[in-house]
Copies of this chain bind each other. A is one copy, B any other.
Amino acid sequence: MKNFVFHNKTKIYFGKGQIENLHSEICRFGKRVLLVYGGGSIKKIGLYDEVISQLKKAEMTVFELPGVEPNPRHTTVNKGAKICKDEHIDVLLAVGGGSTIDATKAIAAAAKYDGDDCWDLIKRKAFVKETLPFCTVLTLSATGSEMDGGCVISNIESNEKLGYFAPDNNPDVSFLDPTYTFSVSSYQTASGSADIMAHVFDMSYFSLENRMDMLVRMQEEVLKTVVKYAPVAIEKPNDYDARANLMWASSWALNGFLYDGLSHATVCHAMEHELSAFYDITHGHGLAILIPRWLSYVLDEKTAPIIKRMGVNLFGVDENLENTEGAKQAIKALENFYFVTLGLKSRLSDLGIDDKHFKTMAKQACGWRGGVLNGFTDLTTQDVENIYRLCL
For residue A16, which residues in chain B have a CB less than 8 angstroms away from its CB? Answer: 3
Q: A10, A12, A14, A17: which has the most chain B beta carbons within 10 Å?
A: A14
The contact of A218 among B8, B15, B218, B244, by CB within 8 Å, is B218
Task: Name the interface residues of A66-112: CB closer than 8 Å to any CB of B.
Answer: none
Q: A4 near B: Cβ within 8 Å?
A: yes
Nearest B residue to A18 by beta-carbon distance? B3
For residue A8, which residues in chain B have a CB less than 8 angstroms away from its CB? Answer: 8
A213 near B240 (CB under 8 angstroms)?
no
Nearest B residue to A216 by beta-carbon distance? B221
For residue A241, which residues in chain B have a CB less than 8 angstroms away from its CB? Answer: 1, 212-213
CB distance from A51 to the nearest CB of B (A): 18
Q: A43 near B: Cβ within 8 Å?
A: no
CA distance A17 to B1 in the complex (A): 13
CB distance from A243 to the nearest CB of B (A): 11
A244 near B212 (CB under 8 angstroms)?
yes
CA distance A215 to B15 in the complex (A): 15
The contact of A14 among B6, B10, B18, by CB within 8 Å, is B6
Q: A289 near B: Cβ within 8 Å?
A: no
CA distance A9 to B229 in the complex (A): 30
CA distance A215 to B5 in the complex (A): 23
For residue A6, which residues in chain B have a CB less than 8 angstroms away from its CB? Answer: 11-12, 14
Task: Name the interface residues of A187-238: CB closer than 8 Å to any CB of B.
Answer: 212-215, 217-218, 221-222, 224-225, 228-229
Nearest B residue to A249 by beta-carbon distance? B214
Task: Name the interface residues of A286-324: CB closer than 8 Å to any CB of B.
Answer: none
Q: A7 near B: Cβ within 8 Å?
A: yes
Q: A163 near B: Cβ within 8 Å?
A: no
* Given A4-B15, A213-B228, A213-B245, 13 additional A-B pairs, CB 8 A: A1-B15, A2-B15, A3-B17, A5-B13, A6-B14, A7-B10, A7-B11, A212-B241, A212-B244, A213-B225, A214-B221, A214-B248, A218-B218
A residues whose Cβ falls under 8 Å from a Cβ of B: 1-18, 212-215, 217-218, 221-222, 224-225, 228-229, 240-241, 244-245, 248-249, 257, 261
Q: Which 10 A-B pairs have the closest CB atoms?
A: A3-B15, A7-B11, A214-B225, A6-B12, A217-B221, A214-B245, A218-B221, A4-B14, A5-B13, A218-B218
Q: List 25 A-B contacts (CB under 8 A).
A: A1-B241, A2-B15, A3-B13, A3-B14, A3-B15, A4-B15, A5-B11, A5-B14, A6-B11, A7-B11, A8-B8, A9-B9, A212-B245, A212-B248, A213-B225, A213-B228, A213-B229, A214-B221, A214-B222, A214-B225, A214-B245, A214-B248, A214-B249, A217-B225, A218-B221
